[in-house]
Amino acid sequence: MKWAKRLLKNVFLLGSLLIGTLIILIAISVYIWQTTDEGRLPAKTAVVLHAINNNLVNLDININLPNFMTGGGGGNPLLREDLYIPVQGDVQIPIRIYRPQGDGPFPIVMYYHGGAFITGFGDINTHDNITRSLAARTNSVVIAVGYRVAPEYIFPAAVEDSYAAIQWAVDNAETFHGDTNTISVAGDSAGGNIATVMTLMSRDRNGPPITSQVLMYPLTTFMDVPLASRDIYDSGYYLLSRNVMYRARDLYTPDEVMWSSPYTSPLQAEDLSNLPPTLIITAEFDPLRDEGEAYGERLAEFGVPVQTTRYRGVMHGFISFYEVMQSGQQGLQEVSSFLRQAHQNTLQISTPYQLQVRQPPQGMDRVRDQTEAFAIAAYLLGRSGMNYFR
């Protein structure tokens, strides 16, 4: 019996030693991932970026992590419809409609996905979680527009498709119980550029009035203007590189004269008056941060009600990862709240204009984020080990 007790004791000690060693390994790994030349990252941001940049998960919106780490869906059941709609001549483009059940009429949100204006970087499928969630959270019809992209289709194909989609939505609103008196536009990255261009085109062409616009880390200029964030965060580690930005410009706007158009570079537009209330979301570790915030300043100079929020400790595209990042969840909540208030005509935007800065999760939220980051790190390290021994 004594030998059995000694054996159990030794097994327990060995197990404790292994667990302790694993915890130390995880802690050291997370600390290393948090340390970058551009600053120290929050733990959750660090592990997500490590996973993506080391190809441990697929870079799509539905990040491939265990269910217990991604939270649930939730919300009321939505109706979904995939269609092709005519835009120019015989051309048709795909759209995806999410709408609440019932007769409505419901506010309409036209959503334009990110993806650098070029094939292979984004479409209505990669951004499905955002459009679906916005429909549920805002009780709106959300129409994701699959505009044509470069290199096959250069400017202005994407913006003309996107504007034609708004006109189609107005003409066909009864079929999906949409309210043509309440139309907002929203988009992220390249889609943020297209969203704000839609407000300019609608104003210039006496088109459907736009109720509000939401621009998530938008590209606002193709011009070579001095922007510190483009220089500091240009490596691509934060999910957008200078090389991709130059490639997008070369393919989408191959003629330099296109760069100065207000429909590609709204930041340089001569007239930004009579545009709808605007929410701009930027990320601290993002090459597009400064131009998004500069666009907010210019809108305010023209009397446009604008709210700009910089989220600290996160990277380009962070709202797409709202299932695993609390900052992404907070960003999505801010977007949803802004749209609901805009649709109800209850927006209250403080003046004079000022940039709001939202800190990374604090207190118990920070503890939760770090705990989840360690759990994800353990999963990633385990996955790396399995891949090594295959």
Q: Which of the residues 29, 133, 184, 189 is marked catalytic?
A: 189
Once rounded to an integer, what is the mean pLDDT over residues 1-12?
A: 57
pLDDT at 3 over 70: no
Which residue, chain included where needed, has tokens 């790994």? 29
Mean pLDDT of 318-335: 95
- pLDDT recorded at residue 282: 98
Residue 80 near residue 144, CB atoms below 8 Å:
no
How far apart CA 124 and CA 384 sit, in angstroms, is 31
Alpha helices (H) in 35-119, listed in sequence order: 43-53, 67-70
Model pLDDT for residues 74-92, shown as the tens digit of each residue:
455 899 999 999 998 889 9
Domain boundaries, the chain: 2-65+371-388, 73-359
How many residues make up the chain in this entry?
390
The answer to whether 205 touches 159, Cβ cutoff 8 Å, is: no
pLDDT at 373 (0 to 100): 82
Q: Is the pLDDT of residue 316 over 80?
A: yes
DSSP 214-277: EEES-----S----HHHHHT-BSTTS-BHHHHHHHHHHH--SGGGGGSTTT-GGG-S---S---
Q: What are 114-137's pLDDT values in tens digits?
A: 999 999 999 999 999 999 999 999
Q: According to DSSP H, which parts of the chain are helical?
A: 2-34, 43-53, 67-70, 128-138, 157-171, 190-204, 228-232, 242-252, 289-301, 326-343, 363-388
Report how far residue 368's alpha carbon sits from residue 174's, in angstroms, rounded to the nearest whole number.
45
Name the pTM for this structure: 0.90
The whole-number pLDDT of residue 380 equals 77
Cβ atoms 320, 328 nearer than 8 A: yes
378, two tokens: 């353990």
User: What confidence category does residue 355 fall into, taking pLDDT thresholds of 50, 70 and 90?
Assistant: very high
Distance CA 178, CA 80 (A): 14
Catalytically annotated residue among 286, 320, 343, 369 = 286
How far apart CA 34 and CA 46 sit, in angstroms, is: 5
pLDDT tens column, 147-186 = 999 999 999 999 999 999 999 999 999 999 999 999 999 9
Q: Is the CB of residue 247 less than 8 Å from the CB of residue 120?
A: no
Q: Is the pLDDT of residue 5 over 80?
A: no
For residue 185, what is the enclosing H or E element? strand 178-188
- The percent of residues in the chain predicted with pLDDT above 90, rounded, is 71
DSSP 305: -
316 carries an active-site annotation: yes
Could you name the CATH architecture of 73-359? 3-Layer(aba) Sandwich (3.40)
Average pLDDT across the chain, whole number: 89
At 372, the pLDDT band (50, 70, 90 cuts) reads confident
Average confidence (pLDDT) over 182-197: 98
Q: Residue 114: CB partners within 8 Å, gap ≥ 6?
A: 121, 122, 127, 187, 188, 189, 190, 191, 192, 317
How many alpha carbons lie under 13 Å from residue 108 in its C-beta half-sphere? Answer: 29
Q: What is the mean pLDDT of residues 269-275?
A: 98
pLDDT recorded at residue 183: 98
Is the omega angle on the peptide bond into residue 226 within 30 degrees of 0, that is, cis?
no
Is 189 known to be catalytic?
yes
Q: Give the CA-trace dihedral at 378, 383, 384, 385, to 10 degrees.
A: 90
Instruction: Give the active site residue among 50, 113, 127, 316.
Output: 316
Q: Which residue has the higher pLDDT, 97 or 74?
A: 97
pLDDT(16) > 90: no
Buried b (16+ CB within 10 A) or exposed e, 52-76: beeebbeeebebebeeeebeeeeee
